[in-house]
Structures are given as structure tokens and as C-alpha cells.
Structure 1
Amino acid sequence: MLDLDAAEKQTTDRLCEEKPGYGNHKKETSVGRQRLARQSTADCSGDEGIRLRKLNGSSVEAPSYQNLHRELLLSHKRGLLLEEKPELKRVLEQRRLELHKEEEMAKRRPSDLETELRKRQQKMQEYEQEEIRQRENQQKIPEFVRVKDNLRRTQTSE
């Protein structure tokens, strides 16, 4: 009987050593060892095998996860993540802002300065278009006619 208890104890100790946290809470009394041995054989033995149970907040990846989370929070506080928006979102935001500005400009009445500047711009465009038309007309005229006109001008100017 003692040999069976000792054999069970050795196998359960070997199996339970793989589980973190087991073995630290065992009592030193022989009666306590037998009770724990029987309980641990019931816990450790079974068709399902050894189940490792994660304790809250004590995973292997916890320190790296905590460091990453801390770094993320710090960079968020500093505002470093604002630059890291996806390009598509940034472009869409810019377009939305531009459209909003254009709508506001269209809604409000133009000032006197703006109207005067637009009038001048229109006059300049008309003048440039007129010059372009004159050049095109001169290019359509045959060369001998242009030379003849130039000769007449030089004779009259002398």
C-alpha cells in the first residue's frame, strides 16, 4: 500500500511539476502530502491530459504587450499618431475641406476688391485672345503680301 502511494506520488509530482504554481503550496506533513497527492492525481489524471490554466495578467507575452501598449499611449499623448493616418483618409479629408471652403466662398457675397480684380482679369484675357487672333490672321496671309506691306510702311516713314 505504501509502495502504491509512493508511486502515485512520484508520478503526480512529475506531472504536476509541469504545471506552473503547483508544488509551492504543498504542506510538509505526511498526512497533507497524501491528501494533496490524491487530489492532484484526480486533477492531473484524465483523458484530457494536462491543462495549463492562464492566470489573469501573467502571460508570457505580458511584458512585451504592456510595453507596446505603454508606447502606444505615450505616442498618442504626444500626437505622433496624427501623421500616421492612411493616405486615402488624408486625401479624402483634404478634399472635404476644400469643398467646404469653396461652398463657403460661393455662399458669401464677393467684396468690391474681388469684383474689381475679376473685371481686370477678364479684360486681360480678352486682350490676350485678341492678340492671338491677330497673329493667326497674319500667318494666314501669304508672305509676299506681308513683305509688300512692310515695304510700303518703310517708304512712307522715310
Structure 2
Amino acid sequence: MASPRQVTESPQQEPGDLIQPRKLPNPMLASHQHKSLHQELLFCHKRGLLPRKKPELQCVLEQKEQHKQRELALSLPSDLEVKLRRRQQRIQIYELEEKKRSESLQNIPEFVRVRGTLRRVQTFSW
């Protein structure tokens, strides 16, 4: 009996005639920019300077600032703040009323506006 290997091989083909497949080059690894970036990342990693990582001092300061903002949000507003907020609301309401009044005056014909601005003239009966 013949072995399976002998059956599949044909006597016409020799091992030297076949084209041997080659591994294709990786364009990312062949790129000079990619190599330099990879070296820089390795260097920074060894030194502890990872990209997109904030310094420790900056992180601590941001945490303190966030903590202060949370405390201010939870604390009750002072009397001055309450009065200032009320005053601001009154001013906004007044400005809205003025805007509405000016818009309504613009819609009125001109002769009616002029008539309203004239002084009342007293008429004497003889």
C-alpha cells in the first residue's frame, strides 16, 4: 500500500518549482513614524511620564476645588445672597414688562402715539 503522502504528490512537481509563500510586511511596523512613537512611549513609560496623565499636584488641587464646590452647593445661602437674588429677579421682571410695553407701543399707529403724548389743552368756554 502507498502512503497518503505519496498519493497526493504528483511525480511532475518538484519542491523547487513551487513558489514559497512569504510573510507580508506589516506597514505599521515598517513605518519610521510608528517606530519613533513606540520608542517614545516606551521611554516615557519607563520614566513614569505616561501621556494624558495629569501631574499629582494638579489632581490634588482639582479634587480640593471640587470638594469646595460641593460644600458651597450644600450650604445654605446667606441673607445677602438671598436679597441679591430677589433684587435680580425684580429687575428681570421689570425689564420684561418694559420690553412688552415697548413692543405694544410699536404695534400702535403713529398718530395714536403722538396724540397720547400731547398735553391736555384746557379749553375755556365763553
Shorter-chain TM-score bucket reads 0.3 to 0.5
Q: Flag the structure with more relative contact order, 1 or 2, with Cα contacts below 8 A and sequence separation at least 6.
A: 1
> What is the TM-score of this pair, normalised by structure 2?
0.42
Q: Which structure has the bigger radius of gyration? A: 1
Provide TM-score, normalisation by structure 1.
0.34
Q: Which has the higher helix share?
A: 1
